[in-house]
């Protein structure tokens, strides 16, 4: 660290953001999950972690809001070849069913759906294990997807970690043992087994709400593409799900509302301990043109950064986070072609690292 120059160019062979830190020296550990079996419009998010890692070398390390984030130590694990291979196999089985709108009419189709669902189970187990290990060591874990199905095991591990806070000496501050989720996304992701796939990218928050009772509050910002059943599901879980629709915020600001006031009011229901799930399509699609399901409207980069800043200012503890659905464009990185999606994603990732605090290890 004494010889590291944060203003110098990233050196060959260095880690994420050009940093020299080992796992032992780092307070933030990033888990790449190159899996995107069920993306239903555009694929390629499995290439997101590697593209973000490459683009991160161009990120200047003094953040104007969060300062010298790099000083806390940021370390990115190597991609799991088994997960990458699993994604390829599951994607090949899912694609024909997705092209037919989710129709699984034959025994072969039913077997394919079951195989894809089993692949999702394995991803959940892998991610849950990695996050549990990182949290037990007193570090803050972050997931880099991959599609939005990938963080279920991460959220589960964070919810379990918080729920044990009162029972384990040296755990998190006692007194609040539920987890809230701040979900930035164009979509509600409250569809049950979308297109037949239990662990669909469009079902992540449905699975969280129905399977993880320790998640007490889900606050959604940037929402602008929904199904009626999703809206009804959120209404049926009023008091636990708090969606904030993009068109309503846009209209409010046209009528004179301040964006910061809208954000502070949206964050209010969140408990002390929070997990942040950031789907890159929460942003205006000019910032993520190749993401799987882009939607007009959305957050500017500065608005997204302000949401994270106000979350940090609120004093809440970010237990873990994910960044998903970053999809590099065709030909990205070849022949000097710049990669815009990963460039933006790397900068969002650095800010996500900036809102973390050191977790206390649990025995």
pLDDT at 46: 96
- Taking the chain (363 residues) in consecutive chunks of 10 residues, what is each chunk's mean pLDDT? 84 93 96 93 90 95 96 97 96 88 80 94 98 96 97 98 69 71 98 93 97 97 98 98 98 98 98 97 97 96 98 96 94 65 97 85 47
Q: Give the pLDDT score at 339.
A: 86
The reported pTM is 0.94
Helix, strand, or coil (residue 229):
helix
Q: Would you say residue 110 lies in a domain?
A: yes
- The answer to whether residue 361 is domain-embedded is no
Q: Report whether 154 contacts 143 (CB < 8 A).
A: yes
The CATH code of the domain that includes 228 is: 3.40.800.10
Our count of domains for the chain comes to 1
Distance (Å, whole) CA 109 – CA 106 = 5
Which residue range is the domain that position 317 belongs to? 27-354
- Identify the pLDDT of residue 200: 95
- Identify the pLDDT of residue 282: 98
Domain assignment present for 7: no
Identify the residue whose tokens are 């874990």. Answer: 141
Identify whether 127 is part of a domain: yes
Would you say residue 360 lies in a domain?
no
Query: How buried is residue 254: exposed, middle or buried, by Cβ count under 10 Å (0-12/13-18/19+)?
Result: exposed
Quick check: is 338 in a domain? yes
**Is residue 14 in a domain?**
no
The pLDDT of residue 171 is 53
In a domain, 261, yes or no: yes
pLDDT, residue 360, reads: 58
| Model pLDDT, residue 363 | 42
3 state DSSP class of 9: coil
Look at residues 112, 115, 110, 94 and name the one whose alpha carbon lies nearest to residue 40: 94
- Report the C-alpha gap between 205 and 190 in whole angstroms: 5
What is the SS3 assignment for 310?
Answer: helix
Q: Classify 91 as helix, strand or coil.
A: helix
């Amino acid at each position: 660290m004494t010889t590291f120059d944060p203003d110098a160019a990233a050196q060959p062979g260095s880690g994420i953001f050009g940093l020299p830190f080992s796992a032992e020296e780092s307070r933030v550990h990033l888990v790449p999950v190159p899996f995107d079996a069920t993306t239903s419009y555009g694929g390629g998010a499995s290439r997101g972690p590697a593209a973000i890692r490459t683009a991160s070398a161009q990120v200047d390390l003094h953040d104007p809001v969060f300062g010298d984030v790099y000083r806390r130590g940021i370390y990115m694990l190597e991609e799991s070849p088994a997960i990458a291979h699993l994604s390829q196999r599951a994607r090949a089985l899912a694609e024909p069913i997705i092209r037919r709108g989710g129709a699984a009419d034959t025994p072969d189709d039913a077997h394919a759906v079951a195989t894809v669902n089993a692949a999702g189970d394995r991803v959940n187990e892998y991610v849950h294990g990695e996050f549990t290990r990182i949290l037990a060591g007193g570090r803050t874990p972050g997931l880099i997807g991959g599609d939005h199905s990938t963080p279920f095991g991460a959220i589960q591990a964070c919810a379990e970690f918080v729920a044990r806070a009162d029972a384990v000496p040296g755990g998190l501050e006692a007194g609040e043992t539920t987890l809230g989720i701040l979900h930035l996304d164009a979509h509600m992701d409250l569809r049950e087994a979308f297109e037949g796939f239990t662990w669909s990218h469009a079902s992540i928050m449905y699975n969280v709400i129905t399977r993880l009772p320790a998640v007490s509050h889900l606050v959604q910002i940037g929402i602008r593409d929904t199904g009626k059943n999703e809206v009804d599901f959120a209404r049926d879980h009023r008091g636990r799900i708090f969606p904030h629709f993009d068109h309503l915020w846009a209209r409010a600001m046209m009528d004179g509302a301040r964006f910061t006031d809208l954000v502070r009011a949206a964050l209010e229901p969140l408990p002390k301990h929070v997990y942040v799930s950031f789907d890159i399509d929460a942003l205006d699609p000019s910032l993520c043109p190749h993401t799987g399901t882009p939607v007009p409207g959305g957050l500017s980069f500065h608005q997204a950064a302000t949401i994270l800043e106000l979350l940090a200012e609120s004093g809440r503890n970010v237990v873990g986070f994910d960044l998903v659905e970053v999809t590099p464009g065709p030909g990205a990185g070849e022949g000097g072609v710049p990669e815009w999606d990963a460039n933006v994603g790397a900068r969002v990732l650095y800010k996500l690292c900036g809102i973390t605090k050191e977790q206390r290890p649990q025995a």
